Amino acid sequence: MRSFRDRDRDPALRARRWAGGLALALVLPLAGCATGTGTDGDADSGRPGASSTAPAPSATAAPEVRAQLRVDGDVRQYLLHRPPAPAADGDDGPRPLLVAFHGRGADAAELRAKTRLERAATARGMLVAFPEGLGRGWGAGTRATKQRPDPGLDVRFTEALIKHLVRTERADPGQVYVAGFSNGGSMALRMAAERPALLAGAASVSGQLPTGDAAVEPTGPVPVMVVYGADDPVRPLAGLPSPPPDPKEPILPTRSARDSAAAFAAAGGAGEPVTRQQKGYERTVWRLGKEASGGSRRPDGTVQLLVVDDAGHTWPGSTVPPPEGFGPVSRALDATDTILDFLTGPGR
């Protein structure tokens, strides 16, 4: 079996692997998408600010709720999952928060079904928020487009959502994490790059850092994990510097998965990486420097890249079949538990 580096450097193999699959995959509807979760615009309000229709938590608060938050004049929706209420003599202190971004063309319910993050995370005492992207997507890059004329809109929405949940759901501001798949994975990386002080960690599956005129540059140290299929036919492991045109919304150019992880390592003052082959995947680890600006928050933090063998543009370990053209789902790794172990573990 060739390593991911060999496959990364073979242009002919990369072309065969994704040229046909990309166009097909981007127009296919995603399996399991929910309906009736659109957003309502507010033409009368263009000023930044946030207000919410979410019910206040209580001892008998529902474990799952669909709520709204008005940010920059838009009414944004999200699914919120609360962990089980503690026993009467248990710890009722602040709780870790995970914000999980769905992929392009999908929605919060689809990501929840594919990942089961709400089960694994709430079992660990975490709050989990699945926000809905405008137009079923995220402004993961810095380039303004016709569909997304304000490229910073989703960054501000995510920041407002986190602050809102800290205030209303007792989310712990010191334990806020983001994760996502595909376009949502790139959105998670953008949050980590542009708001490192807001987060204690980030993870991306099948998502890379935008580049070119949409480039996103990491600005400080934060633990990051990138999980990527070695045979991704939609957005290749080697990146997509010159994406094909799309009639609905421009596809952003991206760095390779390795270069995406390495950019966070460099911003965190990391030394040389260490790569080890594990069963079904290859793990590369950069250890964040203790002297980096902000590094005292997580002096033991790491940036990690997991390249999964025989995996496509999919969530490893998922039981939901991917759309045609997205490639296989690896069973060698459970991305959900791997990500949560990384984000919340002592040696992330």
Give the pLDDT confidence score for residue 85 in this predicted structure. 79
User: pTM score, two decimals?
Assistant: 0.83
Q: Tell me the three-class secondary structure of 97-163, residue by residue.
A: EEEEECCCCCCHHHHHHHHCHHHHHHCCCCEEEEECCHHHCCCCCCCCCCCCCCCCHHHHHHHHHHH
**Per-residue tokens: 324:** 């045609």
**What CA–CA distances, in Å, run from 190 to 136, 148, 185, 339?**
17, 15, 9, 17
Residues in the chain: 348
pLDDT of the chain, 348 residues: tens digit per residue: 444 444 444 444 444 444 444 443 433 333 333 333 333 333 223 334 566 665 555 445 678 999 999 999 999 999 999 998 775 556 678 999 999 999 999 999 999 999 999 999 999 999 999 999 999 999 999 999 999 999 999 999 999 999 999 999 999 999 999 999 999 999 999 999 999 999 999 999 999 999 999 999 999 999 999 999 999 999 999 999 999 888 788 899 999 999 999 999 999 999 999 999 999 999 999 999 875 544 444 557 999 999 999 999 999 999 999 999 999 999 999 999 999 999 998 656
Kindly list the domain boundaries of the chain, sorted by start residue.
Answer: 4-344
**Fold type of domain 4-344:** Rossmann fold (3.40.50)
